[in-house]
Chains A and B, each alone.
Chain A
Amino acid sequence: MAAREALVVHRNISLMLCENPAVLEEILVELDLDELIHQRLGARAIVAPTQELVRLRDALHARGVYPRIVGEVLEPGDEDFADDEDDVAAEEE
């Protein structure tokens, strides 16, 4: 095992911070975070790589939680929608 590092700096990380531990517990009961890469830190916070921010936000929105957002949300292009021509091909099959 390599020597253990004392200070670890994670960059480009998103944070969901709740007012108190009870709010986080309440949210975790309602939220399905299985698909998300994240880590719980302490009693009030969840951290995730920035790439996961939109999915985290959408998961919160889906549960009717509209968090205060600090900073810019960069929307990634996602591949949920096939091209129209692909749709047509799929229908023909």
Chain B
Amino acid sequence: MAARQERQRSGPLASSELEAIFERGYAQSSRRFLATLWGGEPDRADAVFASMSEPERVVDALERIGELSRSDRAIFAALSNAGGRARAENLRKELLLRGQGDVSNELRVLARHGVLVVLPSSGQSELDLETVLDQQAFLQQELALTQALIDELDKRGITHSDAEIGAWEGEITDSRVESLQSLELNLLHLAAGLGQDVLRLNKSGAPNRRSLSRFVVGLTRPAATDTHDLWLDIDTPTHANYIGFLFALVRELGLSTVIEDRGLVGQFSGAQAYFTMTDKRRGTRLLQVVQNLKGWSEGLSPSLQDGREQDDVLEAQLSQTRDNGSALIGARGYIFSVLRRANLNGWTPLSAVIELCGQLDRDYLPRVFANAGLSLQVDHYVRAFIVDLLFWIGAVELGKDSQGIEMMRLTPDGQRLLGFKEVDENTQQTGCLFVQPNFEAMVFLDAAPMEVLYRLYQIGERVNLADRVATFKLTAESVQRGYSMGLDAESAIALLDEHSHAPLADLIEFQLRDWERIWGRVTLWSSGMLLRHDDPDRLDTILGQVRHALRDEPLAVERLAAGAVFLDTTAEEEVLRQLERYGGLRIDYLGEVPPALEAIAGMHFAYEPMTADIETVGILKKISNEVRDECTPRRRVVELDPAKLSEYWPEKTFAQIIAFLRARVRGGLPSEQLLQLKARLLTPPQATLLHAVVVVTLDTIEDAQLFGSTEHARACKALQIGERSFAIAQEHLDSTIETLERLGVQMTHQ
């Protein structure tokens, strides 16, 4: 019994299998259903199967369906091609891809006629056919044909025919394909450019047009085939869209980063990590980033095709700060998942793939668009996904058949990216370079590993690209730049030698070493600490203690002068802790800079060279002259020079110098000196001095206000002092007394 119950996994329906199904899988109603259709007793599977195997009954069964539709024939053909059984969902998917549309209903109809036998899944019992056929879950059931039915279909020429299931046959014309390597070359070119210059951004986050035009030079358009039409043009919307895609990839692959929302710069470490990965890891990383792309949206691509809102769309696509692609991450994942599950062998009509993506889960994409507030049509979106995004990463080839129908197929790169094919990591390419004595290195792109191209971009300038050959010029500048990025002469020579067709010329080796010698003459430390002490011996003692305390930490020490030493360490806080016991002054150029100037008088200020910060001293040199007679080695006295001040701060000169001095004079800028500076640099303050005055003081503020507004007060120009008093010139004393008497004011004379 156990053997009879064991499910058959392939081939047409067998008698023993039907017996097992009747015994455990089917409900009584289902057994009766099949027995009624084919003849036999519901509790006798062998008899029912015998009826199903009779050629006449098979013909009758097909007659009951009526004339077979194109979809019916396609279903029978696909099922017999699959060996006589297949899951309903797989059949539906397969036929969607073959341009047959959604055949779910046709499958149900054929099952209701008993010609497709619905098989219970393992573990399923008491299957009620009537119920299952009404449910969406029906598509998860396996369907099978009997051998007798296959034989009849065979006689009618339906089975094993690709034409019946709509499989494409014929010739493709006008095919276009972009290679993954071309995309990566563009990414590398862009990353190399961003390593040398900053892409300026507008406030909106979109690149400044002038700046962008410099970076676009040398980028090739997708699927470019000849040198006349090779380059991208930022004025062509579809090209600009592709440029936006490249920048988003460069940023999200970690090859560049946005600084302060106003510029995009290269990330050396990210570029090195990516371009030196194996092909497989790079492919995986690229696909991951493409699927999660935030800075570019294929959802906006369709509107560039029909000319709607192009400026706004392009600005959004090129923006380095907007996340307009985030909402589509789920949609991309869905389409990749559909493509991975679809049987995409060879050329397939593009419309069929679009329909498959739309139909497989009808609600998913509309739901994603609705949640994101996007008014996108599913077919437009999927089309843009394929003809832009997938095409640009070299995953699909596009073409047309003889009737002009758009077709697509996965490229070898696409099969690899989607996981259908493994990368052959053992194909070691050698001899991809030809280094000429004039310092030009020609590299054959089809044979060049990505790391070789990356290294060439580090030490050379790409001066030409044509016919899959790139030419790099090695110059003192480019090679020294490469040395700055971590290469050295020996590794550069080894790289060129290993990949060169012929041994490297002695001249090249000599020059690469010589450039390294020259380059090594200057070292730039990006950030560190400077310790200064006017007693060199004391500085030595302090340094010895710091070395001892940091003996387990990386510490580079450069003696610059007897009383000056530069330290480079990652343990800066520990150094500061060690130095606490010595007191002294701390100057932090990214933090607090203590005031360093002493106010003397007028335009004169003083500072100590040992303790003043570099910025203050540097600016003083530009705006003042030293008063040599008053200077000593430990104290420098300077006098501000109005001409130099105007030159250094051409606008708002007085405000600028006051701001400079207020932040840097110990104890603040004295008022006396501020007045002196104002007198010298701006307009002299004005003052009126009154000699021989009479002061009239009223008892109340109200009385004072009334007196101040009298004709007499105005006539003698009474000057109010405080709230209740007025100063009046001596010559008006008598008339003032008369006026006050006339007004009835009681006076007291002092």
Could you tell me which A residues sit within 8 Å of B by CB distance? 1-2, 4-19, 23, 27, 36-39, 41-42, 44-45, 47-51, 53, 56-57, 60-61, 64-85, 87
Whether the Cβ atoms of B477 and A64 lie closer than 8 Å is: yes
Is B552 positioned at the interface, with any CB of A under 8 Å from its CB? Answer: no
Pick from B523, B585, B617: contact of A67, CB under 8 Å: B523
Whether the Cβ atoms of A6 and B533 lie closer than 8 Å is: yes
Interface code B246-283, partner A: CB below 8 Å = 1, 0 otherwise? 00000000000001111101000000000000000000
Residues of A within 8 A of B606 (CB): 1
A29 to chain B, nearest CB (A): 14
Supply 27 A–B pairs (Cβ within 8 Å), ascending by A: A1-B635, A5-B585, A7-B538, A7-B582, A8-B584, A10-B589, A11-B529, A15-B525, A15-B558, A15-B560, A15-B566, A16-B522, A16-B525, A37-B615, A47-B560, A50-B527, A51-B589, A67-B522, A67-B524, A68-B483, A68-B522, A70-B568, A73-B526, A75-B263, A78-B263, A79-B262, A83-B204
B652 to chain A, nearest CB (A): 18
Pick from B211, B525, B582: contact of A17, CB under 8 Å: B525
Is B370 positioned at the interface, with any CB of A under 8 Å from its CB? Answer: no
A57–B535 Cα distance when bound, in Å, is 32
Whether the Cβ atoms of A12 and B566 lie closer than 8 Å is: no
Residues of A within 8 A of B551 (CB): none
A80 to chain B, nearest CB (A): 7
Whether the Cβ atoms of A39 and B614 lie closer than 8 Å is: yes
B502 to chain A, nearest CB (A): 28
Which of B85-93, B195-203, B404-412 forms contacts with chain A? B195-203
Could you tell me which B residues sit within 8 Å of A by CB distance? 198, 200, 202-204, 206, 208-211, 259-263, 265, 476-477, 480-481, 483-484, 519-535, 538-539, 542, 556, 558, 560-561, 564, 566, 568, 572, 576, 579, 582-591, 598, 606, 608, 610-611, 613-615, 617-619, 634-635, 666
Residues of A within 8 A of B261 (CB): 77
B197 to chain A, nearest CB (A): 10
Pick from B263, B524, B527, B535: contact of A60, CB under 8 Å: B524
Whether the Cβ atoms of A44 and B560 lie closer than 8 Å is: yes
Whether the Cβ atoms of B530 and A4 lie closer than 8 Å is: no
Residues of B within 8 A of A71 (CB): 525-528, 568
Query: Whose C-beta in chain A lies nearest to the C-beta of B539?
Result: A7
Query: Whose C-beta in chain A lies nearest to the C-beta of B212?
Result: A84
A1–B606 Cα distance when bound, in Å, is 9
Whether the Cβ atoms of A12 and B200 lie closer than 8 Å is: no
Known: A7-B583, A85-B202. A13 touches B589 (CB 8 A): yes
A72 to chain B, nearest CB (A): 6
Known: A49-B615, A77-B261. A68 touches B591 (CB 8 A): no
Whether the Cβ atoms of A7 and B587 lie closer than 8 Å is: no
Residues of B within 8 A of A72 (CB): 526-527
A19–B203 Cα distance when bound, in Å, is 43
Residues of A within 8 A of B582 (CB): 6-7
Whether the Cβ atoms of B533 and A12 lie closer than 8 Å is: no
Residues of A within 8 A of B542 (CB): 7
Whether the Cβ atoms of B529 and A76 lie closer than 8 Å is: no
Residues of A within 8 A of B527 (CB): 12-14, 50, 53, 71-72
Pick from B522, B531, B561: contact of A7, CB under 8 Å: B531
Whether the Cβ atoms of A57 and B524 lie closer than 8 Å is: yes
Pick from A4, A60, A68: contact of B608, CB under 8 Å: A4
A67–B560 Cα distance when bound, in Å, is 18
A40–B605 Cα distance when bound, in Å, is 22
Whether the Cβ atoms of A39 and B583 lie closer than 8 Å is: no
A84–B566 Cα distance when bound, in Å, is 43
Whether the Cβ atoms of A11 and B614 lie closer than 8 Å is: no
Whether the Cβ atoms of A45 and B560 lie closer than 8 Å is: yes
Residues of B within 8 A of A87 (CB): 209-210
Query: Whose C-beta in chain B lies nearest to the C-beta of A22?
Result: B521
B485 to chain A, nearest CB (A): 9
Residue of B484, B538, B591 most packed against chain A (CB within 10 A): B484
Residues of B within 8 A of A8 (CB): 531-533, 584-585, 587, 610-611
A82–B203 Cα distance when bound, in Å, is 9
Pick from A12, A77, A84, A85: contact of B262, CB under 8 Å: A77
B668 to chain A, nearest CB (A): 13
Whether the Cβ atoms of A49 and B209 lie closer than 8 Å is: no
Whether the Cβ atoms of A23 and B526 lie closer than 8 Å is: no
Residues of A within 8 A of B608 (CB): 1, 4
Q: Can you list the 5 inter-chain pairs with the closest CB atoms, starting with the nearest?
A: A66-B480, A7-B584, A71-B526, A77-B260, A81-B200
Query: Whose C-beta in chain A lies nearest to the C-beta of B592?
Result: A11
A39–B532 Cα distance when bound, in Å, is 13
A16–B483 Cα distance when bound, in Å, is 17
Given contacts A37-B618, A41-B530, A66-B476, 6 further A-B contacts (CB under 8 A): A7-B532, A7-B538, A16-B525, A37-B614, A49-B614, A71-B525
Residues of B within 8 A of A51 (CB): 589-590
A36–B481 Cα distance when bound, in Å, is 22
A19–B558 Cα distance when bound, in Å, is 12
Known: A77-B261, A77-B262. A4 touches B564 (CB 8 A): no
Whether the Cβ atoms of B587 and A83 lie closer than 8 Å is: no
Residue of A4, A5, A45, A87 most packed against chain B (CB within 10 A): A5
